[in-house]
Structures are given as structure tokens and as C-alpha cells.
Structure 1
């Protein structure tokens, strides 16, 4: 059997098997990535300004620690907000029975940890991996941003903006 036959059989087996999952998942990914990118822009502006003011007073290492600590905290809160958006969606569509279960499941899916005994309703099962894909994107952006911030506000960097 050719690869085309296998693929067409898989896609034609049931009409649009996961259409609703993608119709919910893709906008959630777009919304959370936009929130994340706007948040990163705001963090970078504030962090660089604060860092420059503190470093002008020759307190480079404490300034670096404060800026990186605050940046990490704000990024963590942003990830929590973005995860909450998914949790609300799970609860609203009836994929999970209550807000607490939705939040716990969402954190598991976003971080790809996923070791809870919580499962989405059968018709929404693909949303978990879609959220995990979103987590990869968001954590990748955060990692790149933290690496950039380290370079920008590092005590050894004489060109702080």
C-alpha cells in the first residue's frame, strides 16, 4: 500500500476527525503567542531602562541579578496566564469537568509534563498535544529572550542601552 493510500485512508476514515480541536487550538496558539511576544517587548523595554539606571551607579552584579530575577518572575507569570487561557477554554467547551481540573491539565499539557490522571473528553483529545505544541513555542521564545537578556544586562557588557 502506498503512502498516499495510507494517508488518504487515515484522513477519510471519519469526516474531519479533529476539526473542532484545530478550530479551537490554532486561535489559542495565536492568541497566546501574541500575548507572549507583546509581553516580551514590554519586559525588554522596562528591563533595559532599569538595568541602565542601576548600572550607572556601578552596582553591576546586583543589578544583573535583580533584572534577571524580575524578568524570570514576569515570564513565569506570563506562562501562567497563557496556561489559564487554555484552561478556561477546556472548561468552556466541556472537555474537563471543573476549573481546577482544567488548570491542572493545562499546566501538564503546556509543559509536556502530563502525568496527572486527567484526560480530556474523547472528542477533545487532540487539544492536549496541540497545547503542548503551543508550550514548545512559548518556552522557546522565553528561552531565547532570557539568553538575549543575559547578554544585554550582563555585568561584563559595557554597551547597556
Structure 2
């Protein structure tokens, strides 16, 4: 039980760093390009940019977990490992592909990681949206 935790924690820490970078980049993107712009089009473009940045960050995190699964020998191809990772990260839990008993604990560990990182993605998007709405409502 300790071995999966030892293997999964560095990936979680790397994902926390990736998500922190994506969140900061998305806020910087908004400030640089849309902070002083008003109107619906500016809001849509700002939100689209933020969503793109955080989505890319989440996809990188899924890839990182997939690379770990491949490195551990759980899957034969990166495609299969990344698919399984995406199912875990998004907390879908299809169960069509399962890992060996030795590494099975990595699935729920990734699911918790994914739920937290997707939540932070949503928080970044909401922060930008709230700022844009507040800006529209205040004279």
C-alpha cells in the first residue's frame, strides 16, 4: 500500500505545480489582454482563453499520470495508459480497463488529484468571469 503512495505523490506534486502555473498564466492572460476591455465579446474571448489554458494544463496532468502508468508497466501503449488516466482524472471510473492489484491504489489517488485540479480550474474561470461581470456592473 505504501509503494503506490510513494509513486503517486511526486506526480500529484508535479500536477499541483502544473495547475498552479496554469491558474497564474490564465489570470495573467486576462489582465494583459482583457482587464480594461468591456462588453460581451471581450468577456467571451477572455473566458475562452482561460478555458483553453486550464484545459491544456489538465491534459498535461493526465498525460503525466499516463506516463507513470506506462513506466510502471501497467499498459503496453501510451494511448491506453492516457485513456485510463483520463478516466481516473475525470473521476468517470468506467472500469473497462483496470490496473493490477499492485498499483490499483493509484486509480483513486489520481481521481482525488483530478477532482482537486479540475476544481481549481473552475475556480480560475469563475474568478475571471466574476471580475468581468463586476466590471460591467460598476460605473
TM-score, normalising length: structure 2: 0.92
Assess, with a 3 A threshold, how the Cα gap between structure 1 residues 51 and 158 changes in structure 2: closer, same or farther.
farther
Q: Which deviates more, 114-123 or 63-72?
A: 114-123
Within-5 A mapping of 1:116-127: 116-127=95-106
Assess, with a 3 A threshold, how the Cα gap between structure 1 residues 33 and 77 changes in structure 2: closer, same or farther.
same
Q: Structure 1, residues 84-113: CA drift from partner, whole Å, max 9, x if none?
A: 000000000112222111010000000011
Assess, with a 3 A threshold, how the Cα gap between structure 1 residues 148 and 121 changes in structure 2: closer, same or farther.
same
Q: Which runs of 4+ in 1 moved over 2 A?
A: none
Contact 1:96 1:121 in 2 (8 A): no
Count, aligned residues = 138
Higher relative contact order (CA 8 A, sep 6+): 2
Q: Structure 1, residues 44-64: CA drift from partner, whole Å, max 9, x if none?
A: 0121221135x1xxx511000
Are positions 1:48 and 2:31 aligned together? yes
**Is there any run of 5+ residues in structure 2 with no aligned partner, and where?**
none
Root mean square deviation of aligned Cα: 1.6
Contact 1:151 1:157 in 2 (8 A): no
Aligned residue number for residue 15 of structure 2: 32
- Counterpart CA distance in 2 for 1:132 and 1:150 is 27
Are positions 1:95 and 2:74 aligned together? yes
Choose 1 or 2 for highest CA Rg.
1
- Counterpart CA distance in 2 for 1:157 and 1:135 is 34
